[in-house]
Amino acid sequence: MAALSDAIIFLSLTLLAVTVATFVLAVSFLGRAIEQSSEEEARIAKEQAEELDKTIRETQKRLDEAKESGEVDEASRELEGYKGKKEQFEKRRAKALAGYRLLTVREGILYPGAVLLLSLAFAAAAKPLTTVSGPYALAFSYVLLIIGAAGIGWVCYRLYRSLVVVQSVATIPEEVQLKRTVKAFEIAMERHEEKKRPMLVLRFTEPGPPFKFEPSTDKVIEFHVIMLHGDVAKSVAVEFYAPEGFDFPGHETSHRPSYAFAWPHALTANIELGELVYGRACREKLTIKTPPQGGTYKLGYMMSSIGFRTGDIVFFEVEVTE
C-alpha cells in the first residue's frame, strides 16, 4: 500500500510537469485549432441546413400524398427521423468546438492541474493510514488511492486528447496546405493589383457646391481630378449630367438612354482628360447654362478611365435664384 501511494505521488508530480510542457507545445497550435474547428463547424452547419431542406421537401411530398390517402404516418416518420439526425449534428458540432478548448488555459492546464493536486493530496493522506491498524483505516486508504489513481487516469486521457488535436492541426494534408498557399498568393496578387489600379477623385475649385447662379445665365465652374494611388490612369474622362432645362454650352452633349440604370434621359457632357499620372492634378472647366425657372437642382458626374470607374453618379446641387 505504501508503495502504491508513493507511485501515485510520483506519477502526479511527473504528470504536472508533463501537463505544463504539453500546454506550452499545444498553445502554439491554438490558432490553427480554432480555425480548423470553425471550418468543421461551418461544414457541419451546411450539412444540417441541406438535410433540413431535404426533410422539408420530403415531408411536404408526404403531406401532399397524405391529403389524397388520408394517412400521415409517412410524414410523421420523416420528421422523427430528422429529429434523430439533428441530435447527431448537434453532437458533431459540439465535438468540433470542444477540440480546440483542450488547448486553452482552463481546460489544458487548470483542470488537469487541479485534478493532479487532488490525486497527490489523496495519495499523501492514504499513506499514513496504511500503518494504522483496523479495517476502517485500510478501507479508507483504499478509497483514497482509487480516487487518486482515477484522477491520474483522467489526466492521462486528457493529455492524449490534447496531443491528438495537436497532431490533427500540425499534420495538415498536402492538398489543404497547397490550397492555403494558392489562396494566400491570390490575396497577395489582388492587393498588388489594387495598389496599381488607379483611384481618381474630383474636387471643385472654391467656392464649391452648392453653386448659386442666376436664371438663364452661363456660368463656368472649375474642377480638378487627382489620382490618389496607382501608376498611370489612361483615357480619363468625366461625364456631367443635368436635368431638363440645363445646357452645357461649348461641350458636345447627348442624352442618357432610356434603359440606363441611373438617371435615364439626363443631359450628358463628356470631358476627355487624357492620361493622368500619380501626384499631378488635371484642371478643367465646365460651362453650365441655367434654366429660366428658379429652384434647387441636382446635377451629377461620373469619372472613368481604363481600370477605374466610380460606379455611381456623384451628385451636387445648383441653386438658381434671382
How confident is the model over 231-282, as pLDDT tens digits?
Answer: 777 888 888 999 988 999 988 889 888 887 788 888 999 988 888 877 777 8
Residue 158 contacts residue 102 (beta carbons within 8 Å) = yes
Q: Where are the alpha helices (DSSP H) in 111-254?
A: 111-129, 135-170, 174-196
Which amino acid, 136?
Y
Give me the pLDDT at residue 89, please: 63
Domain 199-320 is classified in which CATH homologous superfamily? ntegrin, alpha v. Chain A, domain 3 (2.60.40.1510)
Bridge-based pairing state of the strands 267-277 and 281-289: unpaired
Number of other CB atoms surrounding residue 44 within 10 Å: 20
CA-to-CA distance for 24 and 19, rounded, in angstroms? 9
Q: What is the pLDDT of residues 173-214, one digit of tens each?
A: 555 556 666 777 777 776 766 666 777 888 888 788 888 898
pLDDT for 84 equals 65
From residue 309, give the alpha-carbon distance in Å to each of 71, 237, 256, 283, 304. 62, 10, 17, 19, 4
177-212 per-residue burial string, b: 16 or more CB within 10 A, e: under 16: eeeeeeeeeeeeeeeeeeeeebbbebeeeeeeeebe
For the chain, report the end-to-end CA distance as a whole number of angstroms. 109
Q: What is the structure's pLDDT at 263? A: 84
**Taking the CA atoms of the chain, what radius of gyration do you get in angstroms?**
38
What's the pLDDT score for residue 240?
A: 92
Q: Reply yes or no on whether the pLDDT at 36 is more than 70.
A: no
Listed by start position, the domains of the chain span: 2-178, 199-320
Q: Determine what percent of the chain falls in helix, strand and coil, rounding each to the nearest 5.
A: 55, 25, 20
Q: What is the mean pLDDT of residues 155-160?
A: 84
Each residue's pLDDT tens digit, 64-120: 665 565 555 555 565 566 566 666 666 666 665 666 666 677 777 788 888 888 888
